[in-house]
Amino acid sequence: MEVHHHPQVEKKNFKEYFLEFLMIFLAVSLGFFAENIREYFADHSKEKQYINSMVADLKGDTAGLNDVIDANIKKAAGVDTMTSLLNKASLTPDDEKQLYILNSRYASNIAKMDWNDGTIRQLLTSGNLRLMSEQGTSDSIMNYYGPHKDIAVGQAEILYESVKRIYFGAEELFDRSFIRWNLNKDSSFSKAPLPQTMSLLTKERTVLKKYAQMILTMQGLINNYLSMLFKMRKRAENLLIFLQDKYDVK
């Protein structure tokens, strides 16, 4: 009959258990720290990319704001001249032609800002605004892209509705056949020469007065919009300086 002998297992002492535990703990800790360091550098790289992209957006905004502000200053002056002419006791043929020109140039279109907001949209939808590590960065960004910009966008929509109202209201006063656009061979458009005489469809005072009131309303909206654009331009310039200084971006 065979007798099986169980091998003797040497018992470990406390010191050996402690060393094994310490080695496992260090391996896990080092892995954890390595992952944190990797994520830190990855997040820092993403942050820098976002900042570079936002700086480009802000440069586009400041250039666009300059153009839109200049255009609206000219529009405000042009419609002011229109109002003065519409309120005259009597109109000369030159006044009537001037009204046609001013109406076509300043009252039948809108100069509104198209914002470069691609970067902030990505930051907000992805939740990556949290990556902004420099103190005050998130607050400075939202001071520009937050409610102030939304209000300016809303004002542009109100102004657009006013321009639409004026565009269709002009049919009572202006003969649109006088201002025509010709299609060129290269598919571009050019304005046809203006006739020597351009008479209004009516010189009835109530019609002229009503149109002048519509123009005045639009002028007030333009001035409000301009006020907002001036403030937004200053915020854009401040944010641009802040980001370029904090992140050493040109």
Q: What pairing do the DSSP bridges indicate for beta strands 189-191 and 181-183?
A: antiparallel
C-alpha to C-alpha distance for 171 and 111, rounded to whole angstroms? 22
Q: What is the pLDDT of residue 44?
A: 58
The pLDDT score that the predictor gives to residue 13 is 64
Distance CA 63, CA 54 (A): 14
Distance CA 83, CA 99 (A): 9
**pLDDT of res. 77:** 96
Rounded Cα distance between 36 and 178, Å, is 71
DSSP state of 105: I
- Flag whether the pTM goes above 0.75: yes
Name the 3-class secondary structure at 5.
coil
210: number of Cβ within 10 Å: 15
Residue 190 DSSP SS3: strand
| CB of 99 closer than 8 Å to CB of 88 | no
Q: Which residues of the chain, if any, have pLDDT below 50?
A: 1, 34, 40-42
For 204-224, write each residue's pLDDT tens digit.
999 999 999 999 999 999 999
CA–CA distance, 74 with 249 (Å, rounded to integer): 35
pLDDT score at 249 = 85
Query: 97 near 236, Cβ under 8 Å?
Result: no
Q: Which residues pair with 181 in a beta bridge?
A: 191
Domain ranges of the chain: 46-128+145-247
Q: Which amino acid is at 248?
A: D
